[in-house]
């Protein structure tokens, strides 16, 4: 379980903090989504949780341990981060890219062992992209690349998975496919997942828990069914929101006048 306590972050030389006194917790094995408009502090919160930026105040506790107190290497064994789209300068093969996930487990002067290659291969299979192993990582589709990054995160064997807008560059089908994969592997391995998303509908389909962020503060936190209401979403995005629901599904749409 991961718990954020009173987190405040301010960029150097600025007066206003980007996020202010944020507290929430995600229980073990749950999939939580950070939802909020651009500039709401999602990315800041995400970078703080990934241990990349140091908060001005507050703590991030994983199973009771403050992640600020541990080395990068130990942190990488606790939490795996799936970054947004990126291009490496060299066309590594997919297998080589996934092997990089083993970095926190490989000795300082060592190269990955056969056991590390096994772990990377198992991760590729778990995500269902083992057929890509030999392909250059720079020449696969955006959806495939996202899956490969998820495989790399799995190869880290960390109990907590952080994903930064995993669907932002993907087409309609791939958005669902990637999130479905995240949900499946998280359930199989009992991972706790936290991701940022832009789409309330995707959030409604996949999240166990929704944390709504606006202006650097939490405005709602709870199960999708109770949190994703016309009122909350309208307040979050400053537009009229309509929801059509039947027994199986809820569809959120903007009511622009």
Partner 1 sequence: MSDESIKELTPPFAKGGAGGISLTAVQPEQLRVPSRKLEEAHGRRIRLLSSFVFISPLLAAFVALFLGAYGVTPLQVLHIMANAFSGIDSPEAAIVLDIRLPRIILAGLVGMSLSTSGATLQAVLRNPLVDPFILGISAGAAFGCAISIGFLPGMSLQVMAFAFGGLAVLMACTMARSGGEISRLSLVLSGVIVSALFTALLSIIKFLVDPMKLQSIVYWLMGSFALADWPQVRSAGIGIILGCLPVFLLRWRLNVISMGDEEARTLGVNVSRKRIIFIASATLAVTSAVAVSGIIGWIGLMVPHLVRMLAGPDHRRLIPLTMAGGAAFMICADTAARNLTAADVPVGIITALAGAPFFIYLMKRGGAESWGK
- Interface residues with partner 1 (CB under 8 A)? 50-52, 71-77, 80-81, 83, 86-93, 95-96, 99-101, 103-104, 106, 108-112, 114, 117-118, 120-122, 125-126, 128-131, 133-134, 136, 138-139, 156, 173, 176-177, 180-181, 183-184, 187, 205-206, 248-249
- Which residues, including other chains, have CB under 8 Å from residue 171's CB and lie 6 or more apart? 142, 143
Q: How far is the CB of 182 from partner 1 (least distance, A)?
A: 11
CA distances from 126 to 109, 133, 165, 176, 185 (A): 29, 13, 21, 17, 7
Cβ-based neighbour number of residue 111 at 10 Å: 9
> How far is Cα 232 from Cα 52, in angstroms, rounded to an integer?
30
- Judged by phi (left if over 0) then psi (alpha if -120 to 50, else beta), residue 180 lies in alpha
């Amino acid at each position: 379980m991961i718990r954020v306590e009173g987190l405040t972050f301010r960029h150097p030389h600025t007066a206003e903090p980007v996020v202010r006194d944020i507290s929430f917790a995600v229980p073990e094995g749950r999939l939580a989504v950070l939802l909020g408009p651009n500039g709401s502090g999602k990315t800041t919160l995400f970078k703080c949780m990934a241990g990349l930026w140091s908060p001005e105040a507050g703590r991030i506790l994983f199973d009771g341990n403050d992640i600020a107190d541990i080395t990068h290497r130990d942190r990488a064994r606790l939490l795996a981060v799936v970054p947004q789209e990126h291009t490496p300068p060299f066309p590594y093969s997919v297998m080589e890219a996934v092997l990089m996930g083993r970095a926190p487990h490989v000795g300082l002067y060592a190269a990955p062992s056969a056991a590390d290659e096994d772990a990377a291969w198992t991760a590729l299979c778990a995500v269902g992209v083992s057929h890509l192993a030999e392909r250059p990582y720079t020449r696969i589709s955006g959806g495939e690349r996202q899956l490969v990054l998820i495989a790399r995160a799995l190869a880290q064997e960390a109990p907590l998975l952080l994903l930064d807008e995993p669907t932002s560059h993907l087409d309609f089908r791939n958005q669902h496919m990637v999130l479905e994969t995240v949900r499946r592997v998280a359930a199989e391995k009992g991972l706790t997942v936290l991701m940022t998303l832009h789409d309330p509908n995707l959030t409604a389909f996949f999240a166990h828990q929704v944390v709504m962020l606006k202006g650097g503060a939490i405005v709602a936190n709870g199960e999708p069914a109770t949190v994703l209401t016309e009122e909350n979403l309208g307040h979050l995005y400053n537009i009229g929101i309509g929801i059509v629901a039947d027994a199986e599904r809820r569809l959120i749409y903007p009511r622009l006048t």
